[in-house]
Amino acid sequence: MSADKPRIQDQVKEHFKFKLEHVDKHSKARAGVITTPHGDIPTPVFMPVGTHGAIKALQPQVLEDMDTKIILSNTYHLHLTPGSDLVKKAGGLHKFMNWPRPILTDSGGFQVFSLQKKSIKEEGAEFKDQKGQKILLSPETSITIQQNLGSDIMMAFDECIPYPATREYTKNSMDRTHRWLDRCIETWNNPKQALFGIIQGSTYNDLRKECVDELVKRDLPGYAIGGVSVGEGAEWMEKIVSFTAPLMPVDKPRYAMGIGNPEDLIMLWENGIDMSDCIIPTKFARGGTLFTSRGKIRIRHRNYRRDFYPIDHSCSCYTCKNFSRAYIKHLFDSNEILGQVLATTHNIAYYKSLAEGARKAILEDRFLDFKKEFFANYKKDDSKDDDMGGED
């Protein structure tokens, strides 16, 4: 870049801002507002995942009516179909899917991580698509795709390090991710799109700190904790987040990727995380698992056949105001798609309400009381759901 050309990092500040409004006096939990070209996002916020440019089973208008502030879509899948060039010709992803509010796109790194057959090299990640054709996803192609999509927040292309990983593997992968980040920045040319860097380092604290230090040198609009929720378990996840979050810049959004159990969100927010996403609320909903203030229920269970109460007494979503557990169980038993629609509507509303409750508690300096009340009522269920695994 020539000396007289403004850095993209400086240009983006005209369009993307983060204001830290308050830090809870008794914890690290914080509330803020992210400003993007497509609207403001109060934090903490949970982002529903619309992998293919759609939240499964819901019309965008429903999400707007629920006042959903931001959704996440997937670079890898939209690249495969319909192709980012087509989306660009349609006016970008916002216009293509008729969603006027902010969108975050991931880089494709996690999807590469999920593939059994792949080759990670300096150029990028090479794999075969469903037709058997070789595809090279590189930092340059990832950012080009995301710029074609026109998302408000783009994620840098990285290698999502598996768990467990040796120190040598982690260090080599992390160093390559830093080189990839510089290539992402070089390709990034739209100041209306913010680029977030991703912190890797597996379970090694010194490597996590080294990664944060390297990323902060690039002066990016935001930063994310990656390489969590990859099989390490809740205890390691909390150790990684509680160590890494305080190292991240105070004046930039903090994002923890792919974490979505309600009890884990409480942990994230307590440690000062602003943003999170996961397929859990939508994927569980389609399998008949619903979240309530008292824990998860599996609506297919015979106990709900004559249960004429709403999913959650404390919820004011469309589903809970209009339908009973017995009716929703009937829909699932009858394989009626409306069951999935109503279940998804409720789960997204539950997660949104949980984040809004946390934000209110933070602003009133009572986040720890909010946490205590949550765990006093919420009964954690460690059993596995039949519908988990793979993509949303």
Residue 54 has pLDDT above 60, yes or no: yes
Q: Which of 107-111, 346-350, 380-384 has the highest mean pLDDT?
A: 346-350
Residue 1 has pLDDT above 50, yes or no: no
Over the stretch 147-166, which tens digit does the pLDDT of each residue have? 999 999 999 999 999 999 99
- Considering the candidates 106, 264, 312, 392, report the single residue annotated as catalytic: 106
- The answer to the question of whether 158 is labelled as a binding residue is yes
- Same domain? For 293 and 214 the reply is no
3 is a domain residue: no
Of 225, 254, 278, which closes a domain?
Answer: 278
pLDDT classification of 387: cutoffs 50, 70, 90: very low
310 is a domain residue: yes
Of 278, 293, 325, which closes a domain?
Answer: 278
- Same domain? For 222 and 317 the reply is no
392 carries an active-site annotation: no
- Same domain? For 135 and 191 the reply is yes
- Same domain? For 41 and 176 the reply is yes
Strand order in the sheet with 17-23: 17-23, 30-36, 39-43
Mean pLDDT of 310-327: 98
167 is a domain residue: yes
- The answer to the question of whether 11 is labelled as a binding residue is no
386 carries an active-site annotation: no
Domain count, the chain: 2
Residue 7 per-residue DSSP state? P
CA atoms of 51 and 77, how far apart (whole Å): 7
Over the stretch 258-309, which tens digit does the pLDDT of each residue have? 999 999 999 999 999 999 999 999 999 999 999 999 999 999 999 999 999 9
Range of the domain at 113: 11-278
- Considering the candidates 274, 277, 312, 392, report the single residue annotated as catalytic: 277
CA atoms of 44 and 69, how far apart (whole Å): 11
- Same domain? For 67 and 128 the reply is yes
Q: Say what the pTM is.
A: 0.95
Both tokens assigned to 137: 């996803």
- Same domain? For 104 and 240 the reply is yes
Tell me, what's the pLDDT at 5? Answer: 60
392 is a domain residue: no
5 is a domain residue: no
- Same domain? For 269 and 305 the reply is no
- Any idea what the Cα angle at residue 319 is, between residues 296 and 346, rounded to 5°? 40
- Same domain? For 229 and 303 the reply is no
194 is a domain residue: yes
pLDDT classification of 129: cutoffs 50, 70, 90: confident
Over the stretch 218-261, which tens digit does the pLDDT of each residue have? 999 999 999 999 999 999 999 999 999 999 999 999 999 999 99
**Residue 3: φ, ψ to 5°:** -65, -30
321 is a domain residue: yes
- The answer to the question of whether 320 is labelled as a binding residue is yes
CA atoms of 213 and 211, how far apart (whole Å): 5
Parallel, antiparallel or unpaired: strands 222-225 and 194-199: parallel
- Same domain? For 97 and 180 the reply is yes
